Amino acid sequence: MSHPTASDLILHHYATSPFSEKVRLILGYKRLAWRSVTVPMVLPKPDVVALTGGYRRTPFLQIGADIYCDSALIARVLERLAPEPTLYPPASAGSAELLSHWADSALFWTAIPYTMQPAGLASIFNNAPPEAIKVFGADRAAMSPHFRRPTVADGSVQLQIYLAWLEGQLADGRAFFGGDEVSIADFSVAHPIWFIRRAPPVAGVLDACPRLAAWYERVQALGQGQPGEKVDAAEALRLAASAGAGAREPSAVQAGLGFEAGETVSVAATDYGSDLVLGQLVGLSADEVAVRREDERAGAVVVHFPRIGFQIKKFTP
């Protein structure tokens, strides 16, 4: 079993995706070389689901025939591959994870609708035709049908409150959210701020936060790595097929967690984009679940998810 090197990393993402920006910044921070597959922004995504088994969210990381979904898991995988510089310094353990989780959920889901208000849309879509914007809106509405999205009035106020919290956290002059050391929290706060900044007509909301602005520049400076070398999706599928599932690292189904190795399970995100991924359970721990599945084009792949934010169920057809 050969160990992967950083050049085996393939990030499936698109340029304007905030969670992809989070991972791109982490790759830069860790000085990792990577390859880049651009995925569609909306369904259908046949080459995506050939690898993931149904998970449609962006980004995901491919290492041979192992597919890692969700930026929280991707960050941990990159940390395993390249422990230095760390994303999880002991001094801010716990608080950095908490802030990261809040930023990836509450801050993200406030910043995105705020930025996509009518005044911000043209910048975000780079003046794309109205039809493309409609298709995007319908795709996202179907992905999260039960969300009650904040109105512009509510969202603006909520965002200002959140930004004031962040500014307050930096008031003691700390360089990063966890203190003097960079942590996962910095990358999770950075991506919603990056998105707001992409829409100058609405980005003035950040003007009230000079410490946040200075912190943002520091994080950008850390995270500027080499852009990924482009690979097309067909080549990524071929690489998966030739790697063979499980070539990367052995995983085990731990006892006492409610499931048996080899049983068919479904895994789905609990918040939005909850498409089921079906497969044989090959890995289960308090951190991660992994299922093995077969695809006509990608061959046997192992798809990994974090435990937080995902539901595992025994599958009975």
Ligand X SMILES: N[C@@H](CCC(=O)N[C@@H](CS)C(=O)NCC(=O)O)C(=O)O
Binding site for ligand X (CB under 6 A): 17-19, 41, 56-58, 70-72, 104, 273
State both tokens at 245: 């599932």
- Minimal distance in Å, beta carbon 257 to ligand X? 22
- Closest approach, Cβ 36 to ligand X, in A, equals 15
Alpha helices in 116-206 (DSSP H): 118-124, 130-143, 152-169, 184-197
Helical (H) or strand (E) element with 313 = strand 310-314
Residue number with CB closer to ligand X (272 or 280): 272
Q: Which residues pair with 61 in a beta bridge?
A: 11, 68
Q: Which residue is nearest to ligand X (CB)?
A: 57
Q: Which is nearer to ligand X, 67 or 72 (CB)?
A: 72
Min dist CB 104 to ligand X, Å, is 5
Kindly tell me which of 109 and 216 has the beta carbon lying closer to ligand X.
109
| Beta-strand relationship, 310-314 and 299-306 | unpaired
**Is the separation of the CB atoms in 63 and 8 below 8 Å?**
yes
Nearer to ligand X, 195 or 299 (CB): 195
C-beta separation of 65 from 298 below 8 A = yes
Least distance from C-beta 81 to ligand X, angstroms?
18
Whose Cβ is closer to ligand X: residue 32's or residue 269's? 269
> Residue 26, Cβ neighbours under 10 Å: how many?
24
Q: Is 132 helix (H, G, I), strand (E, B) or coil?
A: helix
Work out how close the CB of 202 gets to ligand X at its nearest, in angstroms, rounded to a whole number.
18
